[in-house]
Amino acid sequence: MARKARDVEVFGIYHIMQTSSDVRPLFVNNQDRSKFLSILNNAKNRFGFKLFAYCLRNPQKYHLIIHANGSDLSKIMKSINIAYAMYVKSEGKLYKDRYKSNLIKTAKEYETIKSEIETDWEEYNCFNSDPSYCDTSSPFEETCDDCIRTIEEGYAELDTIARKENLTVDLLLKSKEKRNALIVDFRKISLLSLKDIGELFGGLSESTVCKILKKEL
């Protein structure tokens, strides 16, 4: 039977859970957990997602709460799980199945899930959410004081960028490589919808903008 496609939002907040197979626990000792944290932090730096909580207390599974922040969730998780599997070098299958991802839609739901994970931390008393790895604010309370909020502000920002390169906006956007990189940047620093971004970057459709984001992230 074909696997059901995941419901993914590039700016969604997710509760992630991954379990081990019967071959080997995910974490044999705290050295394994430290290595996983290093891999997790490297992925965070690479993809720019936000980490709000993690729990590595159970040898057989881990929990994460992450905000994709414009990145492709499947690429994030593939990077983490492959890197950790390469470190472990298990003789058999390390993971029981695909990771589970549940979209967190409300602040209340977020607090409930986070509280359940924190209960597990207290029970096992190890490797909870270290502030040096995690974003400490709630993802539903974040502000964006300097974000681009309107298409007009977006045009002004594009004009500023073009002037710095001694170009017009039209000439700047003629390079697909530059245009696509800017689309990713604007998705992260603005409150514009995909439709607005498409209009800003020359009348692209929402689906085209989405494809660019998934390819570039």
Count other Cβ atoms within 10 Å, centred on residue 69. Answer: 20
Above 70 in pLDDT, residue 37?
yes
Do 115 and 160 fall into the same domain?
Answer: no
In this structure, the answer to whether residues 18 and 108 fall within a common structural domain is yes
One domain for residues 107 and 172: no
Check residue 5 and give its pLDDT. 43
pLDDT for res 3:
45
Counting the structural domains of the chain, the total is 2
The candidate with the shortest Cα–Cα distance to 155, out of 205, 199, 112, is 199
Residues 70 and 117 in one domain: yes
Domain assignment present for residue 137? The answer is no
Residues 115 and 170 occupy one common structural domain: no
CB atoms within 10 A of CB 184: 17
Assigned domain for 81 exists: yes
Whether residue 58 is found in the same domain as residue 113: yes
pLDDT reading at 142 higher than 60: no
Percent of the chain with pLDDT over 90: 46
Higher pLDDT, 11 or 54: 54
In a shared domain, residues 28 and 91: yes
Q: What integer pLDDT is reported at residue 207 of this predicted model? A: 81
Asked whether residue 165 is domain-assigned, the answer is yes
Has residue 138 been placed in a domain?
no
Residues 105 and 160 placed together within one structural domain of the fold: no
On whether both 42 and 93 belong to a single domain, the answer is: yes
Percentage of the chain surpassing pLDDT 70? 82
* The last residue of a domain, from among 124, 141, 166: 124
- Using CA atoms, how far apart are residues 11 and 191, in angstroms rounded to an integer? 11
Convert the pLDDT of each residue in 195-211 to its tens digit: 888 999 999 988 888 78
Assessment of whether the complete model's pTM goes beyond 0.75: no
Please indicate, yes or no, whether residues 18 and 98 belong to a single structural domain of this protein. Answer: yes
Q: Which domain holds residue 104?
A: 13-124
Residues 169, 99 share a domain: no
What are the start-end ranges of the H helices in the chain?
30-47, 73-88, 107-124, 151-164, 169-174, 176-189, 194-200, 206-216
Tokens linked to 110 = 């977020």
- Lowest mean pLDDT, pick from 29-38, 96-105, 136-145: 136-145
Pick from 53, 36, 9: nearest CA to 95: 36
